[in-house]
Chains A and B, each alone.
Chain A
Amino acid sequence: QVELQQWGAGLLKPAETLSLTCGVYGASFSGYYWSWVRQTPGKGLEWIGEINDGGNTNYNPSLKSRVTISIDTSKNQFSLNLRSVTAADTGLYYCARGGSSWLGWFDPWGQGSLVSVST
């Protein structure tokens, strides 16, 4: 049974870079898209972007200029970098498995990482 575990820094100052990593355990890493989704007080649930094991990415246009999602297939991990954070980026960040083709649904999800941006 696939399990996603995520980690990364939770307290940031404005203009810093948010970095989170998600490890995939108990299932094949290949053949799926792997996503980041966040839940903020201002916008609710918001898809950030996705990547597959070939390194192909899709990003939400609203965040594309600040986001990089990368993958390390040797470790079964994928990562999120969000640059130039502001208070509006405060929220819960989840990694999730997407579908076997791009732009699918999410199942399962990681446990979530609380990120707070404050001076």
Chain B
Amino acid sequence: EIVLTQSPGTLSLSPGERATLSCRASQIVSDNYVAWYKQQKPGQAPRLLIYGASHRDTGIPDRFSGSGSGTDFTLTISRLEPEDFAVYYCQHYGTSPLTFGGGTKVEIK
């Protein structure tokens, strides 16, 4: 099973600042099969942002970008908007079991 470790646990930033979120895998993720999700509020369903490590889903603003390969992946939000303060999760796919990271909360400083 691939264990995904996200860091930091919480990121305190101001609107307009850049956010850099990390997702580290316990073993190599083949073909960069990593997705990123945003959960706006507890109890709300996550929303897909990125798949294939760097491909934005339809309708996702270009201030969101994904990068990385192997075991290290990054989600970057270039300039934080008020609606970007949320919890973000990474997920690997392609091998069973599918697993998620523990999440990074981006909060207003």
Residues of A within 8 A of B (CB): 44-47, 58, 60-62, 92, 94, 96, 99, 103-112, 114
User: Contact at A109–B97, with CB atoms within 8 Å?
Assistant: no
Given A61-B96, A92-B43, verify A105-B48 contact (CB < 8 Å).
yes
Given A46-B100, A47-B99, A107-B48, verify A112-B93 contact (CB < 8 Å).
no
User: Which secondary structure dominates where chain A touches chain B?
Assistant: loop
Given A46-B100, A112-B45, verify A103-B51 contact (CB < 8 Å).
no
User: Which secondary structure dominates where chain B touches chain A?
Assistant: loop
Total contacts A to B, CB within 8 angstroms? Answer: 57
From residue A103, how far is it (CB to closest CB) to chain B in Å? 6
Residues of B within 8 A of A (CB): 35, 37, 43-48, 51, 57, 89, 91, 93-100, 102-103
The answer, among B45, B93, B96, for a CB contact under 8 Å with A94, is B45
User: Contact at B35–A60, with CB atoms within 8 Å?
Assistant: no
Chain A residue at minimal CB-CB distance from B99: A47
User: Contact at A62–B97, with CB atoms within 8 Å?
Assistant: yes
CA distance A106 to B102 in the complex (A): 17
